[in-house]
Amino acid sequence: MIWNRLRLTLEMIKFEHSVFALPFALTGALLAVRQGGIPWSAAALKFAWIVVAMVAARSAAMAFNRLVDASIDGRNPRTRTRHLPAGLLSRAFAWAFVAASAIVFFGAAWALNTLCLRLAPLALGIVLFYSFTKRFTAFSHLVLGFSLGIAPAAAWIAIRGSLDVRILWLTAAVTLWTAGFDIIYACQDYDFDGREGLFSLPRSLGIAGALRAAQVLHILMIACLAALVVSLDLGLLAIAGIAAVAALLIYEHHLVKPNDFSKVNAAFFTMNGYVSVLFFLFWAADIFLIRRGA
């Protein structure tokens, strides 16, 4: 029974999608160590706690989102089979999971440093707040983006105990990237959102306009990554990573047309998983191989 509930819970929160933000957080941590003054061996344990904090915060946010949206999901043909509206998990269990995840998150923040613990309520508040935004603003996509975008800055703080404003270029990049692909995904619910009175950029701009807005956001993401390369004096592998990300995003936008969303899952899940993982691999290689002479 317990294992079945665990399996259903991991399905509910789409645990495998932790890959979206986690590589960017780890990149932020690597960049923080690269700045010097902190031995790589001493940072290893912090990396582990960063992973715990990231997974716990995302798990709490996803379960909370499912709770807040349960009634809406039950009326949406695309989402009515989700675990709460379908009765596969109870609301009481989901609330208990949110609480447990939040406790783990605060424990990880405490293990990292004092500033992380002080900022933990704010960070958790931001990721939970997103769940309400589509009820009153078309810019909910940017709020979701910022919820993921704070991850690399938080990882920098976790390593160094302070914030360097240069890492905010990566926060901006992740915010824009996430908002862009969330706009693409939200196009599927254009008709439903209109009936329910929910807000989104597809509802405000139309599907074609929203897809163009997503393209602009992804162009700006690339610009932010380029600014980060310059500000932190990164090397050719980091630049190659940006090129790889740009190529993947171009292909992502090629998959989705205003009148054809048959490939939206490939655009949303598959391509963005590749974006985050490849970005991390290229930038980690730049940090380790170029900067350490390996």
pLDDT in tens, 147-189: 999 999 999 999 999 999 999 999 999 999 999 999 999 999 9
* Percent share of the chain, pLDDT over 90: 80
> Would you say residue 285 has pLDDT above 60?
yes
Which pTM was predicted? Answer: 0.94
- 293 pLDDT band (50/70/90 cuts)? very low
Beta partners for residue 260, in sequence order: 257
Mean pLDDT rounded to a whole number for the chain: 92
Owner of token pair 């665990």: 6
Superfamily of domain 2-292: UbiA prenyltransferase (1.10.357.140)
Amino acid at position 151, single letter: A
> Would you say residue 59 has pLDDT above 70?
yes
Task: Determine the pLDDT at residue 291.
Answer: 54
Instruction: Give the domain ranges of the chain.
Output: 2-292
Closest Cα partner for 289 from 29, 32, 34, 43? 34
Task: Determine the pLDDT at residue 290.
Answer: 62
Are the C-beta atoms of 90 and 42 separated by less than 8 Å?
A: no
What are the tens digits of pLDDT across the range 67-87?
Answer: 999 999 999 999 999 999 999
**Helices 168-186 and 271-285, packing angle to 10 deg:** 160
Rounded to 5 degrees, what angle do the CA atoms 268, 20, 131 make?
Answer: 80
Which whole number is the average pLDDT over 12-36?
88
Task: Determine the pLDDT at residue 294.
Answer: 42
What are the tens digits of pLDDT across the range 185-222?
Answer: 999 999 999 999 999 999 999 999 999 999 999 999 99
Per-residue CA distances from 105 to 59, 102, 120, 204, 220 (Å): 10, 5, 8, 36, 31
- 28 pLDDT band (50/70/90 cuts)? very high
> Would you say residue 268 has pLDDT above 90?
no
Beta partners for residue 257, in sequence order: 260
